[in-house]
C-alpha cells in the first residue's frame, strides 16, 4: 500500500477542540469514511457529507460493544462539540460543530458533516493510512490520540518544537494543569508511555522522546524527537497483508460463501490488530501453497489460522478474565477497514 505524504501545515491537527476518548473515536471513524470517499482535488468545493453507518459497526468502532444507548449518548455529546479555527494573518476565523445532526433509525445512523468542516477533514485524512487510523482508534488515552496526531503531522521529519503555551491552547488546557509539572505528568508522560508500549509490541508505528527548553526556571518550549519503524518495513508489512487477502478470498471462495467471508474478515481483523503476526504467517502460507493445492489444503490452512491468529485473540481474552475489573475494560480492535478490502476487488477467482 502506498504511503500518503502528510501535509505539514494541517490546520485541524493544531486547531482548538476538545473531545473525550469515545468522541474522538467517532471522529476517527468519520475521517476513515472521508478518506475512502475523497483523495485530492480542489478543497473548497464540498457539499455537506451524509454518512450512513450501521449502528452495530459504530458500536464496535468506538468500543461500546453493542450498547446502543451509550453510542447514542456519545453521538449527542459529539454533536454539541465545537471546532474553532483562526488564522489572524489572513483574518480568517471559523467556528462550527463537528457534525450537524445524527439520526438513528432501524439500526442505521445517518450523520451529516458540514461542508465548512470538509476541507479540514479531507486535509487531515491525507495524513492517515488504514494502519495509522487503526492505531489512532485503538489508543486508550485522548492525550495519546492528540500526540499521535502531532507525530503524524510531522511524518518525514525527525521531530518538531512547540511552545508550552501553544500546546496548552491546542489541547484547551489553559485552565487545567496550570503547573508544567502536572502537564508533564498527566498529559505528556501518559502519551509517551502508551505510544512506546505499543511501538515495542509492534502495534504502533511511532513514539517520541522530548526535552525541555527553559527560560530561567520556567519551561517555555518542548523539543520532540520522533522514532519510527523503518518506512520500508512498515510498507512491507502492509504489502504482505495485501498479498494474503486475495489468497484467502480465493481459497475459501468468500464471494459465494458468507461464513467463509466472515471467517476471513476475522483473520484480517486480527492481523491488523497484531501486525507482528503478518510476516511469519505470510511466509508459512506461501510455503504450504508452494507444495501445490491439495484437497485438504484449505482445511489445514484454516487450522493454522484458528490456532495462530484467531487463537491469539482467545489467549488474550483468557488473560483479560484473570485481570482486575479495570483491565477487563480493554477495548477490542475495530472491524477490518473497508479500504484495505476494496484494494482486492480485482482479485482473480480460481
The 3-state secondary structure of 68-137 reads HHHHHHHHHHHHHCEEEEEEHHHCEEEEEECCCEEEEECCEEEEEECCCCHHHHHHHHCCCCHHHHHHHH
Mean pLDDT of all residues in 215-220? 92
Indicate the pTM of the whole model: 0.52
Which pLDDT score, from 0 to 100, does residue 126 have? 63
| Residue 218, SS3 per DSSP | strand
Statement to judge: residues 202 and 91 lie in one domain: no
Which pLDDT score, from 0 to 100, does residue 220 have? 94
Statement to judge: residues 192 and 178 lie in one domain: yes
Residue 187's pLDDT band, with cuts at 50, 70 and 90, is: very high
138, 166, 192 - which closes a domain: 138
Statement to judge: residues 73 and 200 lie in one domain: no
Burial of 90 (0-12, 13-18, 19+ CB in 10 A): exposed
Give Cα separations from 300 to 212, 289, 297 (angstroms).
55, 11, 5
Statement to judge: residues 110 and 21 lie in one domain: yes
138, 157, 178 - which closes a domain: 138
Burial 152-184 (b: 16+ CB within 10 A, else e): bbbbeeeebebebeebbebbebeeebeebeebb
- Does residue 289 lie in a domain region? yes
Statement to judge: residues 268 and 317 lie in one domain: yes
- Does residue 33 lie in a domain region? yes
Q: Which domain holds residue 49?
A: 1-138
Which pLDDT score, from 0 to 100, does residue 84 have? 79
* CATH, residue 63: 1.10.10.10
Statement to judge: residues 128 and 1 lie in one domain: yes
d(CA 278, CA 340): 15
- What's the structural domain count of the chain? 3
Statement to judge: residues 166 and 264 lie in one domain: no
- Does residue 162 lie in a domain region? yes
Element at 194 (helix H, strand E): helix 189-200
Which pLDDT score, from 0 to 100, does residue 263 have? 92
Summarised one tens digit per residue, pLDDT across range 129-177 is: 655 777 877 888 989 988 998 887 787 778 899 999 989 988 888 888 8
Mean pLDDT of all residues in 189-195? 96
Statement to judge: residues 225 and 235 lie in one domain: no
Summarised one tens digit per residue, pLDDT across range 277-325 is: 888 898 889 888 888 888 889 999 999 999 889 888 544 444 444 544 4
Mean pLDDT of all residues in 329-341? 45
Statement to judge: residues 212 and 112 lie in one domain: no
Statement to judge: residues 185 and 252 lie in one domain: no
pLDDT of residue 208 exceeding 50: yes
Mean pLDDT of all residues in 210-227? 94
Which pLDDT score, from 0 to 100, does residue 219 have? 95
Which pLDDT score, from 0 to 100, does residue 213 have? 94
d(CA 185, CA 134): 26
How many H-runs (helices) and E-runs (strands) does the chain carry?
16, 8
Statement to judge: residues 56 and 132 lie in one domain: yes
- Does residue 149 lie in a domain region? yes
d(CA 263, CA 40): 34
- Does residue 178 lie in a domain region? yes
- Does residue 51 lie in a domain region? yes
| Residue 66, SS3 per DSSP | coil
d(CA 109, CA 203): 30
Backbone φ/ψ region at 51: left (φ over 0), alpha (ψ -120 to 50), beta: beta
Which pLDDT score, from 0 to 100, does residue 149 have? 83
- Does residue 349 lie in a domain region? no
Which pLDDT score, from 0 to 100, does residue 316 have? 45
Statement to judge: residues 144 and 121 lie in one domain: no
Summarised one tens digit per residue, pLDDT across range 82-113 is: 887 777 777 888 888 889 999 999 989 999 98
- Does residue 161 lie in a domain region? yes
138, 154, 176 - which closes a domain: 138
Which are the contacts of 314, defined by CB distance < 8 A and separation ≥ 6?
none
Amino acid at each position: 500500500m502506498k504511503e500518503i505524504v502528510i501535509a505539514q501545515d494541517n490546520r485541524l491537527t493544531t486547531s482548538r477542540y476538545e473531545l473525550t476518548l469515545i468522541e474522538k473515536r467517532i471522529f476517527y471513524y468519520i475521517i476513515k469514511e472521508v478518506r475512502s470517499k475523497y483523495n485530492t482535488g480542489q478543497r473548497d468545493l464540498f457539499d455537506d457529507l451524509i454518512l450512513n453507518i450501521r449502528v452495530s459497526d459504530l458500536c464496535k468502532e468506538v468500543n461500546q460493544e453493542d450498547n446502543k444507548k451509550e453510542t447514542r449518548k456519545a453521538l449527542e455529546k459529539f454533536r454539541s462539540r465545537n471546532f474553532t479555527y483562526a488564522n489572524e494573518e489572513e483574518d480568517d476565523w471559523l467556528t462550527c460543530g463537528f457534525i450537524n445532526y445524527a439520526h438513528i433509525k432501524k439500526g442505521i445512523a445517518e450523520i451529516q458533516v458540514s461542508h465548512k468542516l470538509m476541507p479540514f477533514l479531507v486535509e487531515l485524512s491525507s495524513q492517515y493510512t488504514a494502519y495509522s487510523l487503526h492505531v489512532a482508534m485503538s489508543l486508550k488515552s485522548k492525550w495519546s490520540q492528540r500526540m499521535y496526531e502531532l507525530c503524524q503531522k510531522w511524518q518525514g521529519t525527525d521531530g518538531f518544537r512547540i511552545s508550552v503555551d501553544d500546546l496548552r491552547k491546542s489541547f484547551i488546557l489553559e485552565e487545567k494543569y496550570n503547573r508544567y509539572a502536572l502537564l508533564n505528568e498527566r498529559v505528556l508522560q501518559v502519551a509517551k508511555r502508551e505510544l512506546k508500549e505499543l511501538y515495542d509490541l509492534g502495534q504502533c508505528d511511532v513514539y517520541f522522546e522530548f526535552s525541555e527548553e527553559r527560560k530561567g526556571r520556567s519551561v517555555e518550549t518542548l523539543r520532540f524527537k520522533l522514532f519510527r519503524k523503518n518506512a520500508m518495513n512498515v510498507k512491507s508489512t502492509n504489502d504482505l497483508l495485501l498479498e494474503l487477502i486475495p489468497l484467502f478470498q480465493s481459497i475459501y471462495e468468500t464471494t459465494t460463501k458468507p461464513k467463509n467471508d466472515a471467517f476471513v474478515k476475522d483473520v484480517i481483523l486480527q492481523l491488523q490488530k497484531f501486525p507482528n503476526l503478518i510476516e511469519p504467517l505470510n511466509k508459512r502460507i506461501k510455503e504450504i501453497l508452494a507444495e501445490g493445492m491439495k484437497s485438504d489444503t484449505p482445511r489445514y490452512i484454516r487450522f493454522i489460522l484458528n490456532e495462530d491468529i484467531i487463537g491469539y485473540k482467545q489467549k488474550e481474552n483468557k488473560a483479560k478474565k484473570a485481570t482486575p475489573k479495570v483491565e477487563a475494560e480493554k477495548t477490542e480492535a475495530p472491524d477490518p477497514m473497508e479500504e484495505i478490502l476494496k484494494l482486492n476487488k480485482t482479485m482473480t477467482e480460481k
